[in-house]
Amino acid sequence: MSTFDSDTVSEIHRQLHSHLPSEPALRVKALESLLVEKGLVDSRTMDAWVEAYSEEIGPRRGAHVIAKAWCDPEFKNRLMQDAPAAIDELGYLGNATAHLKVVENTARIHNLVVCTLCSCYPFSILGVAPNWYKTAAYRSRAVRDPRGVLAEFGEQIDASVEVRVWDSTAELRYLVMPQRPPGSDNLGEAELAALVTRNSMVGTQRDLAINAGQGE
Amino acid sequence: MDGMHDLGGREGFGPIEVDEPEVAFHHDWEGRMWGMSKSTRQPDWTIDWWRHVRELIDPVDYLSRPYYDSWAQTQIAAFIDSGVFTLEEIVAGKSATAPLARTETMTTAEVIADSRSQASWYDRDIDQAAAFQVGDPVCAKQLSIRHHTRLPAYVRGKPGVIHAHHGAHVFADLSAQGIEQGQHLYSVVFAAGDLWLEAADNNDRVFVDLWESYLEPA
């Protein structure tokens, strides 16, 4: 049973600080070995989670959702009304997306997502969060200097565009729907999905281009 | 908790490393920690308790050690706190007891299927009517809070407007103390100029999800 007591845990942290090796890899290895011995974790199941989040569960899922919404107005309606149900149609509901909301960029609005208090992120459609999303620099500045943050990502946002920052302080998670790139009218869903970047779905990229693919 | 983790609006953290390679894990041990967090938990841990355990890491360590190292320390501290293993066992990296359970091996396909069942719903039906309606002017309370909370310091005492009402969700502050109670949850929109002096002349806005007890009528 957990104590739910702050002072108890603070004391445990002090003990861990003094007694655990400093090297993170050694700490993680000690934890895995101990949990395996206790019968609480299976190393091959852990391998499977690593593989799942390295390959299948990642930003390609989010890109599929966005491209489908661009091509299928009915799907877009469902996505804007009830995003968890809409992504579940594609088999993408999962970790941290039961209360997903989609926020749409327009010519006059740019959306940016952050978690100032920890590192909340819609895992089952964007995968593991990038390091920069979890840094003190991004978490502190996204709510105060979003235009400066965007400039570091190479985006100059015109003064006429309203920047909307979404701080993920409860269990809602936010996915940005970027604008469909100009000149993409003749592209199909799969070709469009290849244009949608992870950063554009977090909001640190605004403009997508038809000659720049995912992973750029 | 009025802690170091409450970073919104803090100055001095410098530029963002925007050229990070787009891979899920940058070191093997990061992936091991991710896999462990996805496949181990204790029945009485709540997401809010876990967050609180992480916030309680020494502030210098919190800011200076790698991200997934903080997950390792959180997981270790939470296991010790709940009596699953002892400090001596983790320091030795060796169990002093017989196995406590048996785990099944899962394949990648099974894990992907299982990830759907890891969707967690936090909305709850409650009897109380919502105190605020969309469009109502509100003010975030100027509270000082020793225990876990999701009311960030940078909005405390600031005026905002109810942008959306999400019904009642499990209240984070009590959930971190092992108590489940539904409370109305809102998205509150703040004008950047009401939060930051230097933003007085722009029209940017910050949306923050806040429970009813964090708010008062403006």
Give the DSSP letter string of B48-110: HHHHHHHHTS-HHHHHHS-HHHHHHHHHHHHHHHTTSS-HHHHHHTS-SS--S-------HHH
B69 to chain A: nearest residue by CA? A24
Provide the pLDDT confidence category of residue A214 given band limits of 50, 70 and 90.
Answer: very low
Task: State if pTM tops 0.95.
Answer: yes
Is the confidence at residue A72, as pLDDT, over 90?
A: yes
Tell me whether residues A31 and B36 touch, CB distance under 8 A.
yes
Q: φ, ψ for residue A90 (rounded to 5)?
A: -95, 0
Query: What digits encode the pLDDT tens for the residues A120-155?
Result: 999 999 999 999 999 999 999 999 999 999 999 999
Provide the pLDDT confidence category of residue A216 given band limits of 50, 70 and 90.
Answer: very low
pLDDT at A212: 57
pLDDT at A76: 98
A167 to chain B: nearest residue by CA? B208
- Across the range A48-73, mean pLDDT stands at 97
pLDDT at B214: 98
- On the 0-12 / 13-18 / 19+ scale of CB atoms within 10 A, B25 is middle
Active-site residues of A: which are they? 115, 118-120
Tell me whether residues B17 and A116 touch, CB distance under 8 A.
no
Q: Is B58 on the interface with A (CB under 8 A)?
A: yes
Please, are residues A178 and A196 in contact by the beta-carbon 8 Å criterion? yes
Chain B nearest C-alpha distance from A71 (Å): 25
Question: To 5 degrees, how large is the angle CA A24–CA A25–CA A29?
Answer: 115
User: Cα–Cα distance between B107 and A122 in angstroms, integer?
Assistant: 23
Q: A30-39, A75-84, B98-107 — which is least confidently predicted?
A: B98-107
Closest listed residue to residue A87, CA positions, set B92, B81, B115: B115
pLDDT at B43: 80
* Helix (H) or strand (E) segment spanning residue B123: strand B123-124
Q: What is the CA radius of gyration of chain A?
A: 20
Buried b (16+ CB within 10 A) or exposed e, A20-55: beeebbebbbbbbbbbbbbebbbbebbbbbbbbbbe
Q: Choose, out of A15, A26, A27, the residue to mutate when testing the contact with B (most B CBs < 10 Å).
A: A27
Closest listed residue to residue B161, CA positions, set B186, B189, B203, B141: B189
Report CA-CA distances (Å) from A102 to A28, A76, A84, A87, A113. Answer: 35, 10, 10, 11, 11
Give the DSSP per-residue string, A122-161: -HHHH-SPPHHHHSHHHHHHTTT-HHHHHHHTT----TTS
Q: Is B97 on the interface with A (CB under 8 A)?
A: yes
Taking residue A78's Cβ as centre, other Cβ atoms within 10 Å add up to: 16
Question: To 5 degrees, how large is the angle CA B67–CA B25–CA A27?
Answer: 50
Closest listed residue to residue B32, CA positions, set A33, A191, A1, A126: A33
Tell me whether residues B42 and A2 touch, CB distance under 8 A.
yes
Query: What digits encode the pLDDT tens for the residues A183-197?
Result: 999 999 999 999 999
pLDDT at B42: 78
Q: Which residues of B touch A113 (CB under 8 A)?
A: none
Q: Which portions of chain B are predicted below pLDDT 50? A: none
Q: Is B82 on the interface with A (CB under 8 A)?
A: yes
Tell me whether residues B195 and A144 touch, CB distance under 8 A.
yes
Is the confidence at residue A17, as pLDDT, over 60?
A: yes
Tell me whether residues A154 and B210 touch, CB distance under 8 A.
no
User: Cα–Cα distance between A46 and A32 in angstroms, integer?
Assistant: 10
Taking residue B164's Cβ as centre, other Cβ atoms within 10 Å add up to: 14
Which of A13, A45, A141 is the closest to B111 by Cβ? A45
Chain A nearest C-alpha distance from B162 (Å): 14
Chain A nearest C-alpha distance from B133 (Å): 19
Is the confidence at residue A16, as pLDDT, over 50?
A: yes
Q: Is B145 on the interface with A (CB under 8 A)?
A: no
User: Cα–Cα distance between B194 and B206 in angstroms, integer?
Assistant: 10
Residue B57 exposure: Cα atoms within 13 Å on the Cβ side: 28
